[in-house]
Amino acid sequence: MTVLAAGSGGGAGRLSVNGLVLPRSGVFAIGYVHSVYHAPSAEVFTVEGGRFTMRAVVSDSGGVLDYYALDGERSRTPGGRWLLRLAVPATYDELPLLTTPIGRRTLLAGGRCLPLYPASGARRVRVAVELTSHDRGGPCPPPYSQSFFLNAAYSTTEATATSTSDNQKPHGSFEPG
């Protein structure tokens, strides 16, 4: 069950991740372009209270799922992406990241985006749940404007969003489609 903070006048107290206001579902994603496979990918999280839990990884490349080396159920989304639902979801109070223009890590929630990466070089970022009075998110730039990323945060945590006809073991061999 997702628990969201109640807002007060003027939008103060809206639950967010780094200032990107969350939808009622409390679902958000960290989208990125995988540096080895060069594939659009996303880690999908849910928020409860002040903590967030990684539930799934979705990518255009099955190799990205192998790269994680995590146990879970592998399947295909209706759009043909690879999906790994974690057998043991990982919960965080905060998540430190090193971001670069190569991976283009970007927070995605409610159809809006918040880029975490600098124009050049590298930046250390701490992802955390917080209350905010101002949404720092904006329109999603490419590649995050693709429906793949915008839909990743809304559909991958729902059982009906995947096809079990293409289930595979997390570390089995396969041909990405």
Q: What are the structure tokens assigned to 86, written together?
A: 């974690």
Give, for all 177 residues of the chain, the pLDDT tens digit: 333 333 334 445 889 999 999 998 999 999 999 889 889 999 999 999 889 999 999 999 999 999 989 999 999 988 888 999 999 999 999 999 999 999 999 999 988 999 999 999 999 999 999 999 999 999 988 778 776 666 665 554 443 333 333 333 333 322 222
Residue in the block written with tokens 């989208």: 31
In the sheet with 82-92, reading across from the earlier edge strand, the strands are 112-115, 106-109, 27-33, 40-48, 51-59, 82-92, 72-76, 163-168
CA angle 72, 154, 102 (to 5 degrees): 75
Provide the residue ranges of all domains of the chain, joining segments of one domain with +: 13-157
